[in-house]
Chain A
Amino acid sequence: MLHIKCPHCGMRSQNEFSYGGDASVKRPELNKEISDQDWDNFVYNRKSLRGKHIEFWQHLSGCRQWIKVERDTATHEIFKTLKANEDF
């Protein structure tokens, strides 16, 4: 079980969190033209990296804040966690 540092609450166990996917993916702006390919990439296509990965987690059973986590997908090492409005 991972140990994740919520930037709002501190170190908590993984079972308080839920995973929210690749945090490097930005939702396209509303009301803007977008090609089929770009939309597909946003909805479906992920890199599935081996190594450092920036991802969203929600502190579901805690402060309910969505946070950013920099994690190694192979070793599970967590390098850094940030609030939603902070950037790496």
Chain B
Amino acid sequence: MKQNFRLDNIGLINRDKKLSFKFNGKSYSGYEGDTLASALLANGVHLIGRSFKYHRPRGFFGAGVDEPYAIVQLYRNNETEPNVKSTEQELFEGLEATSVNCWPSVNFDIGAINNFLKVFLPAGFYYKTFMWPKSFWYKFYEPIIRKAAGLGVASIKHDKERYEHKYEYCDLLIAGSGPSGLASAYAAAKNGARIILAEDKPRFGGTLLTSEVNIGNQTGKEWVKNIIAELKKMPNVTVKNRSQVFGYYDHNMLVMLEKISDHLPKTRKYHPKQRLWYIRAKEVLISSGSIERPLVFGNNDTPGVMLSSAAKEYLKVYGVLVGKKPLIFTNNDSGYEAAIEFKKNGVEPVILDTRKEPNSEIIEEAKNLGIQIKFSYVVVAAKGYKKVNAAEIAKISDNKNELGVLENIICDCICVSGFWTPTIHLASQSGNKTKFDKDIDAFVPGISKQNETTLGAANGTFTLAETLKDSFNAGYELSKKITKNDNKISYPKVVEKNKTTHDKFWCVPLPKGKTYKRFLDFQNDVAVSDIEIALKEGYRSIEHVKRYTTLGMATDQGKTSNLNGLQLVSNIENKIVPEVGHTTFRPPYTPVTIGAIVGREVGKYSRPTRKSPIHSWHEKNNAVFVDAGVWLRPRYYKIGEETLFEGSKREAKNVRANVGVCDVTTLGKIDIKGPDAAELLNRVYTNAWLKLPVGKARYGVMLREDGIVMDDGTTTRISENHYHMTTTTAQAANVLSHLEYYLQLVWPELNVNVVSSTEQWAGAAIAGPKSRDLLQKLFPNIDSSNDGLPFMGYLEGELFGVQARIFRISFSGELAYEVNVNSDNGNFMWEKIMEIGKEFEIQPYGTEALSTLRIEMGHVAGSELDGRTISYDNGLEGLISKKKDFIGKRSLNRKAFIAEDRQKVVGVVPLDKKTSIPEGSHLVKDAYAQLPNPKLGYISASCWSVEHDNPFSLAILKDGKNMIGQKLFVMSPLKNITIPVEIVSSHYVDPKGERVRS
């Protein structure tokens, strides 16, 4: 298809490389260097979507990040992305895009009926219109709104693209590569500063690409090219295009999104799609430019109405005419620039200027070129439904209240300019106290909070000469502050046309008897009348007006609408704009993909996976793994088609009958050394530690200061001043920090050092009646008798030449030992245990069997020590020393903690001895009581007791001490289960603890 609106001899696109693409299923062609928007416009396509609320036809309004309308659903390499701005999306071969907000199609949209019902959809329509009658909401309104509203469709497929994060430091970060960005970057780079220059567009230069200026005897374009080429060669400079600095956070941390592959048909191998940069800058130069403001008139949302700066950009960068009969509607000199470009390219524009008798060089030029200019004229309304085909215009009185006779003028686009709004988002995000500049009717940065400086148009400076002068100086001064260098370069001579002041008038009054919608927010369909209603209804705060009307709340975040909205509120309220104030600017400045925010931390990379040195043996032996904190642990070792239930039962039974071995490497381990080590333990644990002999282990419970149990474990005295502490797998890191806190901050006088040794040791628990025989064979040189290595004893030994630590401790309740060797020898140890253990019928066991064993023994673990229970609740009150003080002791006097009917751990057995009890179920006295049925406790852990061959659970039960023998009910409303149960002792197996001491 021919590109009917493309010119031959202007623009920065590559005409040698033709690209084909599809929009709404239809094929078109464009060129390399196009955006999707410019390529569609080149083909004369102006209708791109439907508006959010009224489903009115939508075209293109801008040419970049400020675009409120032209968002599409993008298809690329079998993936889809919603809400892509077609003005930012670069064209690539095979690109496909569709309209959003259209049902069933962009040309025939059922939702557009809202347009004719618009009297029913005023401000706050979400909050009131659809609330009546109430019964209609679910049946009628809600399904229709769901279908009709909303923007693009998010893919539910896993995103296979790769996104990266990068951390960077620099002396100066410069956001924006227009005149101010380039000048400051150049001056700072020449003065030796480490700089990053970021440009969100593919091309550097900003407005210099489209303005007719001369810098140091070069055109703007040439100057940009040379500066960028020189900067790229400098080792202290990083220059990035397609990179948007979208957030300014605390302590000069800025975040930038670099789009690496979005402009390509497919991401290259080993390349990420996007990269998120976290940049810590010593100084930040904000050179983000300004965005042209719309003028407000009837039907100003019709496709074909667009910003004059956008029309100029489409022409000068892409060689595209947005119309062949343009009408320029302006309140300042900028509109003339677009008109002059049209004229130079053989198109006859008409200018409507709201001003009466303005005079400047640029107006003179337009007059000299023979452009038709109508002063004191306004567009009253755009005509045409899917595309502008004419405009209703009128003369306006000097006081701007009276319209003259309405006239019709034929045109195919209306290019508007309502002057410029500095882009102060980054400055405002940094905490800058912005101020209102009445000369430009906009906010500009005021007092900086962080190290940020705003330059050029973003700072309200609209002449090039002044901008360059300020920017060269800022780049030099700020770099000098950091580098102490003093290499100042002189700034070039600038030739530009002078401009005169703009007209403060921006909103055309409605002619008598007309009800045209005059839109402020184009993406959210907020019209002048909506703001009027909101104010009439009593909304005053601009934040409330925003939320009630949805002004500025769409994906464009009101880049073109906010200021006009403020102007309107201040006009109606008879206030000045600064009194109304502006809504808060929050990051991100532009939408950022979730993929970029998450980066590489997806799937198994979302956190580290830790594996024991015995992991590969587990894998080879059919272990089914489970996440235990960040560790992967075998849950059970599957034989044949065994289920978890069957396998874990077999493993647990074998521990009770013969001997089992369990990988306990994951247990937290802390090495404690120093003359005051015993004193530290004595303060940290609830029981006494000063008299523990060398070669002995002791079980300990530590509390938080509020009396709640923090963790438990055994600690062994290795030598006089050397202890080996174990913690639960989950609490290992917290316990270390806890010890460090007290040693460094509370009791610095204690001479103790602590260090994590979790990774230094591999551990194997050998448990079962035959474990002693096995141990003796593994360590022929030790005395493994009950006298030689008694319960809670410790020995060092040699396992086939490998140094080992042997602890006689038990979690399973059986006669058991724990052997530790250096991690590198973990697998060797394990294989030896399995090899020698064969004759004792050894089987490895996983966490599920481990749980079964500990539950039926009544050993509390993580599910009971859950950060809500005290020692008493867990039956650990016997370990509380009355003679000494320790962390958290004083809290144990709290009323609730010493209440007579305080909760306590108990055992629970179903009366039928068959029904398994779900963990988390409630215990109640009467299953049939009226709701709310008082809850007496909850099931903390459940297992199938291998000793008794029936289900058994632990529960934390109110007045548990006195409940043994009681009949209660377990209820799980979620699973609709009620089970009659009996409360028994939590020690269901070997209540006297004889086996561990045997």
**Within 8 Å CB of A9, what residues of B?**
none
Is A75 close to B, CB under 8 A?
A: yes
Please tell me if B759 contacts chain A, counting CB pairs below 8 Å.
no
Given A31-B885, A39-B891, A1 contacting B250 (CB threshold 8 A): yes
In the complex, the answer to whether A1 meets B249 with C-beta atoms within 8 Å is yes
CB-CB under 8 A for A56 and B745, given A30-B683, A39-B891: yes
Tell whether, in the assembled complex, residue A43 and residue B748 are in contact, meaning their CB atoms are under 8 Å apart.
no
Q: List residues of chain A with CB within 8 A of the CB of B893.
A: 36
Given contact pairs A3-B280, A30-B885, A43-B706, A65 touches B744 in the complex (Cβ within 8 A) = yes
Please determine whether A3 and B253 come into contact, CB atoms closer than 8 angstroms.
Answer: yes
Query: Within the complex, which residue of B250, B280, B737, B891 is in contact with A43, where a contact is CB–CB below 8 Å?
Result: B891
- A85 interface contact, C-beta 8 A: yes
Q: Which residue of B lies closest to A34 (CB)?
A: B890
| Minimum distance in angstroms from B251 CB to a CB of chain A | 4
Task: Report how far A43 CA is from B703 CA in the complex, Å.
Answer: 13
Contact of A66 among B449, B744, B885, B891 (CB under 8 A): B744
Nearest residue, chain A, Cβ from B278:
A1
Known contacts A2-B251, A43-B705, A84-B744; is A75 also within 8 Å of B431 by CB?
A: yes
B252 and A58 within 8 A (CB)? no
Do A64 and B251 contact each other (CB < 8 Å), given the known contacts A30-B885, A56-B745, A75-B431? no
Complex: chain B residue closest to A85, CB-CB: B748
| B899 interface residue per 8 A CB criterion | no
Q: Does A76 contact B (CB under 8 A)?
A: yes
Whether, in the assembled complex, A18 has its beta carbon less than 8 Å from a beta carbon of chain B, the answer is yes
A42 interfacial by beta-carbon distance below 8 Å: yes
Tell me which residues from 732 to 748 in chain B have a Cβ below 8 Å from any Cβ of chain A.
737, 740-741, 744-746, 748
The CB with the most chain A CB atoms within 10 A, among B250, B253, B278, B280, is that of: B250
Question: Which chain B residue lies CB-closest to A56?
Answer: B745
Chain B residues lying within 8 Å of A27, measured Cβ to Cβ, are 705, 746
Q: Is the CB of B705 within 8 A of A1?
A: no
CB-contacts of B885-913 with A (<8 A) = 885-886, 890-891, 893
B interface residue count range (under 10 / 10 to 19 / 20 to 34 / 35 or more): 20 to 34
Mark interface residues in A15-31 (1 if CB within 8 Å of B CB, else 0).
Answer: 00010100000011011
- B745 engages A76 (CB within 8 Å): no
Residue in chain B with minimal CB distance to A27: B746
The residue in chain A whose Cβ has the minimal distance to the Cβ of B756 is A64
| Docked pose: A60 CA to B744 CA in angstroms | 13
Docked CA distance A66–B885 (Å): 24
| A73: interface (CB < 8 Å) | no
Measured CB to CB, the closest approach of chain A to B744, in angstroms, equals: 4
Cross-chain contact A66 with B251 (CB below 8 angstroms): no
> Could you tell me the distance in whole angstroms from the C-beta of B419 to the nearest C-beta in chain A?
34
Given contacts A66-B741, A85-B748, contact A1 B683 (CB under 8 A): no
The answer to whether A20 touches B741 (Cβ under 8 A) is: yes
Q: How far is it, in angstroms, between the C-alpha of A56 and the C-alpha of B742 when the chains are bound? A: 12
Chain B residues whose C-beta falls within 8 Å of the C-beta of A76 in the assembled complex: 250-251
Write out the residue numbers on chain B whose beta carbons fall within 8 Å of the beta carbon of A85: 748
Closest to A76 in B: B250
Partner of A84, one of B167, B737, B748: B748
In the assembled complex, the Cα of A35 lies from the Cα of B744 at a distance in Å of: 26
Instruction: Contact check, B683 vs A58: say whether CB atoms are below 8 A apart.
Output: no
Q: How far is the CB of B756 from chain A (nearest CB, A)?
A: 9
**Chain A: interface residue total (CB-CB under 8 A):** 27
Greatest chain A CB density within 10 A among B737, B745, B748, B891 is at B745
- Which of chain B's residues have a CB closer than 8 A to the CB of A28? 890
Whether A75 pairs with B449 at a CB distance below 8 angstroms is yes
- Can you list, as one digit per residue, whether each of A65-88 has a CB less than 8 Å from chain B (1) or not (0)? 110000000011010000011000
Complexed CA–CA distance, A66 and B394 (Å): 73
Q: Hey, which chain A residues are within 8 Å of B706, CB to CB?
A: 43-44
Q: Which of B36-86 contact A (CB under 8 A)?
A: none
Query: Distance (Å) between the CB of A72 and the closest chain B CB?
Result: 11
**Complexed CA–CA distance, A7 and B296 (Å):** 57
Residue ID in chain B nearest A1 by CB atoms:
B253
- Minimum CB–CB distance from B430 to chain A (whole Å) comes to 11
How far, in angstroms, from A76 to B238 measured CA to CA in the complex?
29
B252–A60 CB distance below 8 A:
no
Query: A18: which of B250, B683, B737 is its contact (CB, 8 Å)?
Result: B737
Q: Which residue of B is nearest A68, CB measured?
A: B745
Closest Cβ of chain A to B642, distance in Å, is 42
CB distance from A16 to the nearest CB of B (A): 12
In the complex, chain B residues whose CB is within 8 Å of the CB of A56: 741, 745
Q: Which residues of A contact B740 (CB under 8 A)?
A: 58, 64, 66
The answer to whether A13 has its CB under 8 Å from any CB of chain B is: yes
Q: Which of B167, B252, B705, B885 contacts A42 (CB 8 A)?
A: B705
Give chain B residues whose Cβ lies under 8 Å from the Cβ of A20. Answer: 741
Report A-chain residues with C-beta under 8 Å of the C-beta of B890: 28, 34, 39
| A66 CA / B167 CA spacing, docked (Å) | 25
Q: Which residues of the other chain, A, contact B746 by a CB distance below 8 angstroms?
A: 27
CA distance in complex: A59, B183 (Å) = 40
For B280, the closest partner residue in chain A by CB is A3
Question: Whole-angstrom distance from the CB of A56 to the nearest CB of chain B?
Answer: 7
Return A62 CB to nearest CB of chain B, in Å.
13
For A42, what are the chain B residues with a Cβ–Cβ distance below 8 Å? 705
Provide a sorted-by-A list of 19 A–B residue pairs whose CB atoms are within 8 angstroms: A2-B250, A2-B251, A3-B251, A3-B253, A13-B253, A18-B737, A30-B885, A30-B886, A39-B890, A39-B891, A42-B705, A43-B706, A56-B741, A58-B740, A60-B737, A64-B740, A65-B744, A66-B744, A85-B748
Residues of A bordering B, CB below 8 Å: 1-3, 13, 18, 20, 27-28, 30-31, 34, 36, 39, 42-44, 56, 58, 60, 64-66, 75-76, 78, 84-85
Binding site for A on B (CB under 8 A): 167, 249-253, 278, 280, 431, 449, 683, 705-706, 737, 740-741, 744-746, 748, 884-886, 890-891, 893
A-B residue pairs, 6 tightest by C-beta: A3-B251, A30-B885, A66-B744, A31-B885, A76-B250, A84-B744
Q: A13-B167, A66-B740 are in contact. List 15 more A-B contacts (CB 8 A).
A: A1-B253, A2-B250, A3-B250, A13-B253, A30-B683, A39-B891, A42-B705, A43-B706, A43-B891, A44-B706, A56-B741, A60-B737, A66-B745, A76-B250, A84-B744
